[in-house]
Copies of this chain bind each other. A is one copy, B any other.
Amino acid sequence: MPKAPNQPPRRPLTLRDVAAASGVSEMTVSRVLRDRGAVSDATRARVEAAARSLGYVPNRIAGGLASQRVNLVGVIIPSLSNMVFPEVLSGISDALDAGGLHPVVGVTHYAPAREETVLYEMLAWRPAGIIIAGVEHSAASRAMLAAAAVPVVQIMDTDGAAIDSVVGISHRAAGRAMAAEILAAGYRRIGFLGTTMPDDHRARKRMEGFETALAEAGVPLSERAFYSGGSALRKGREMTEALLARRPDLDFLYYSNDLIGAGGLLWCLEQGFDVPGRLGLAGFNGIDLLEGLPRRLATMDACRREIGRIAAQIVAGRYPGSAAGGIRVELAPTLQRGDTIRRCPPTQGAPS
């Protein structure tokens, strides 16, 4: 045990120790350390010196109990394996920092039951706020969130009933917008490739919006394929190959995320397909990775870091209007056409 080389079996330091060492009351030490209330410069200096030399670290458990305020924020996300969530978390972490807040992370693995457990555990810490992915929750979870006496920010998805604040994009609208773009480019035999994940509501909504918009234009979705698990890039290859073997007539593939889309793109290029002339491709998320591919996959930016940043600001009370609570921020994802959607319909001239 390399620790504690030769110290006596010290009991943890308290304010009392710092007070004794600096010859003032605990109360004054507390004031100095929290930088609250008037303290003379001389006293302040002595206290700070004492605290530093003792290596005193305040006890936020006691502080939190006494003050009924805590600098922890619960962050509940479905996964850490999909880069989307770390990116959101990164935005959250950076913005919380500015307010001296710290994220406690809970991962649900897309399971509502785990969401309940995690949420319960987090509320037990009486956090300064809860940031939770999605707008779909079990009745128990909704009840806890509604009863919690703290700001709640649901993130990433705006299609649903809000509990308190919401920051995200409309995935239904994102699906619709991509459909419109694809139709405008003249593609008509369109396939969808996505995850089976039954609780990934955002992916489902994108598909629904996509399919609805196609149907409204009189273009039924021709084919769909779903996968689960494994390397997304490879799955993208495999699914694309399988799908096109089954339906060689397809002229567009819409992927539920950029990674499987990138896999599909790489495969199509290797096969020498005419992309985007004969076959168009699009993904979703706007991941960084796409920049380094041989061709830029069409995609739609999901505003991940921005969503995290704004959610954290709302919790910290640093977002305009957030003092009142019940903020709603719907971001507008930008469609990046990239190089995998053709510029105009094949049989049609340029517009007047």
Where the two chains meet, the residues of A that have a C-beta atom closer than 8 Å to any C-beta of B are: 1-4, 12, 55, 57-62, 64-65, 70-72, 79-81, 83, 85-87, 89-90, 93-94, 97, 100, 102-107, 120-126, 143-144, 146-147, 149, 152, 162-164, 231-237, 259, 262-263, 266, 270, 288-289, 291-294, 324-326
Contacts and interface: CB of A to CB of B under 8 A. Distances in A.
Given A86-B80, A231-B291, A121 B102 contact: yes
21 contacts: A1-B164, A2-B162, A2-B163, A3-B326, A4-B146, A57-B123, A61-B65, A71-B121, A72-B125, A79-B90, A80-B93, A81-B86, A81-B90, A89-B105, A102-B106, A103-B105, A233-B288, A234-B291, A266-B293, A270-B294, A289-B289
Given A3-B163, A3-B325, A102-B122, A233 B293 contact: yes
Contacts of A162: 2
Number of copies: 2
Given A1-B326, A3-B325, A146-B3, A233 B289 contact: yes
A89 B86 CA distance: 10
A254 to B, nearest CB: 19
A152 B262 CA distance: 40
A291 B65 contact: no
A249 to B, nearest CB: 25
Contacts of A147: 55
Nearest to A327: B1
Contacts of A324: 1
Contacts of A64: 61
